[in-house]
Amino acid sequence: MSFKKKILWGSSTNAQQFEGGWNEGGKGLSIADVREIPDMPEDANFDEFKIAADHYHHMKEDIALYGEMGFSIYRFTIAWSRIFPNGNDKELNEEGIKFYEEMLSELEKYNIAPVVTLYAYDLPLNLLKEYNGWMSRKCIDDYLNYVKTVVTRFKGRVKFWVPFNEQNFLNLDSEYMTGYKAKNHLEIFQLEHHFNLAYAQATKLIHEIDSEAKTGGNVGTSCLYPATCNPVDVEACDKLKYKVCYNFADVYFRKTYTKRYLNNVKEYDISNVVLDGDLDIISSSEPDFLSTTYYMCSVVSAETLKDDKPMNGLKGKNPYCEANEWGWNIDPYGFKHFLMDIYHRYQLPILILENGLGHRDVLEEDGAINDDYRIEYLAKHIERMREAVEEGVEIIGYLTWSATDLYSTREGFEKRYGFVHIDKNNSFKRRKKKSFYWYKKVISSNGEDLKNL
């Protein structure tokens, strides 16, 4: 069955995992360029991260492939340090911004609407060294100058802007997202508060510059289930939902700090963090839509919800779901449940920015990649999304993760997500996977034809 209303179909990428060209075109260093990932497998090869999928030199080829698939929408992120190499330069880097101008021109050639995320864990390194990055309010000003510059330059060419990528995970790994390792809950809150102020002002700034543009916050999450019906596990599950989702989403979409959010810092004096006028700024944000990323479900217990547990138990195993090699529970039903829950809570149309399956792909002798597991994953999630739409959820668009293979954060190219295969041997040859042709069929049928090839 087709979706009754035409939705936008496409996929997403991320500059730090996809672009490469880390020291080309006048780009400055970002925290992503010098980041050390703990427990990274030896075969992940961090040096490949700086080259990634070499989109910087294959941009036109990549977008032509997306046009061939029939994308109507594509999300990419802009590297702040490609626009302002030091983050706060007096003059922008023309060579850097022209790269994105050329990208927009290629997308326009294929009638693909761009979604632009302005920050995705890649703060210009200089700002971290100069004033500890997002720990300082100076970072808000420098970020807003960057936003103003980019949105002004691309006025009328970008319909959807997302200020930050998955900001709600900041309290799980502040060092990865900002370059600064918070020492306690107060410092985490300070980072979050500065992000929230920047987000609110960015939404207003985008509308002031381009009245036709749409903007909205981004929430990355899982569908969370209590491990048992024991009330302490149910309570733990509820707490984690607020910690990694609702506390932040309430700021983005209800424009306020709830008492539950502020309880996280009730033992601290926050008067030096939340200054006069800050709450007015937050309440003045102007979101048009809600964007989200979804990959898996998780099981939460009172035992796993502890600060010394990795990700606070966010990747707890679900015995009723299959999991991929890295323990991510595959749960299409949870996808529908999450969409229903968050839509009815905030009553904003949803733009799904990421949904996909990480897997080791096998390149056959004839060059084929038969990724039936990816097709099955996506088909089941699209079917549950269709059910959510039938039950009243408003979906703007569905974007998979990812359009092309890219460098996964901890697993490198061992863990692949794309419709297009990237050679690891530095030839960067692009090969269409079986899922490439399948998704082309899905798009042309507006989600009606989900059968495997």
CA 301 to chain centroid, in Å, comes to: 26
- pLDDT, residue 409, reads 80
Annotated active-site residue 19? The verdict is no
Beta strand segments in 30-175, E:
73-77, 113-117, 160-162
- Tokens representing 364 are 């056959």
Looking at residue 37, what is its pLDDT? 58
Cα–Cα dist 415/325, whole Å: 9
CB atoms under 10 Å from CB of 406, counted, come to 28
Catalytic residue among 166, 187, 192, 414: 166
pLDDT recorded at residue 310: 52
Neighbouring C-alpha atoms within 13 Å toward the C-beta of 395: 30
Give the pLDDT confidence score for residue 141 in this predicted structure. Answer: 99
Sign (positive or negative) of CA dihedral 140, 159, 24, 66: positive
Bridge pairing between strands 430-432 and 420-422: antiparallel
CB 388 within 8 A of CB 376: no
d(CA 59, CA 254): 38
Verify whether residue 354 is a known catalytic residue: yes
Residue from 440, 385, 357, 402 nearest 2 by CA:
385
- The single residue listed with the structure tokens 């082309």 is 440
Q: Are 118 and 150 in contact (CB under 8 A)?
A: yes
- How many Å separate Cα 15 from the centre of its chain? 11
Pick from 143, 45, 154, 139: nearest CA to 108: 154
* 162 DSSP β-pair partners: 117
Question: What six digits make up the tokens of 448?
Answer: 């009606």
- Report helix, strand or coil for 353: strand
Q: Which fold has domain 8-445?
A: TIM Barrel (3.20.20)
Beta bridge partners of 401: 12
Closest CA to 191 of 272, 135, 268: 135
Which residues contact residue 79 at a Cβ distance below 8 angstroms, ignoring those fewer than 6 apart? 15, 16, 19, 27, 30, 96, 122
Domain ranges of the chain: 8-445
Catalytic residue among 19, 106, 354, 414: 354
List alpha helices for 210-331, DSSP H.
231-241, 247-253, 259-262, 278-283
What is the edge-to-edge ordering of all strands in the sheet holding 290-300? 214-215, 160-162, 113-117, 73-77, 8-12, 395-401, 350-354, 290-300, 218-226
Which pLDDT score, from 0 to 100, does residue 105 have? 99
Would you state the structure tokens that stand for residue 428, as one six-digit string?
A: 């960067």
Q: Which residues neighbour 315 within 8 Å (Cβ) at sequence distance 6 or greater?
A: 296, 298, 327, 328
Q: 103 exposed, middle or buried (CB, 10 Å; 0-12, 13-18, 19+)?
A: buried
Residue 121 — left, alpha, or beta (φ > 0 → left; ψ -120 to 50 → alpha)?
Answer: left
For 428, the 3-state DSSP assignment is: coil
- What residue type is assigned to position 245 of the chain? C
Strand 8-12 relative to strand 395-401, pairing:
parallel
HEC profile of 28-70: CCEHHHHCCCCCCCHHHCCHHHHHCCCHHHHHHHHHHHHHHHC
Q: Determine the Cα–Cα distance for residues 252 and 3; give it in Å rounded to an integer.
A: 28
Neighbours of 394 (CB within 10 A): 16
Mean pLDDT per 10-residue interval, the chain, length 453 residues: 88 95 95 74 59 94 98 98 98 98 99 98 97 98 99 98 94 91 95 98 98 96 93 94 92 95 93 97 96 96 73 76 92 97 97 97 92 98 97 98 90 92 86 98 96 93
Residues 6+ apart with CB under 8 A from 228: 301
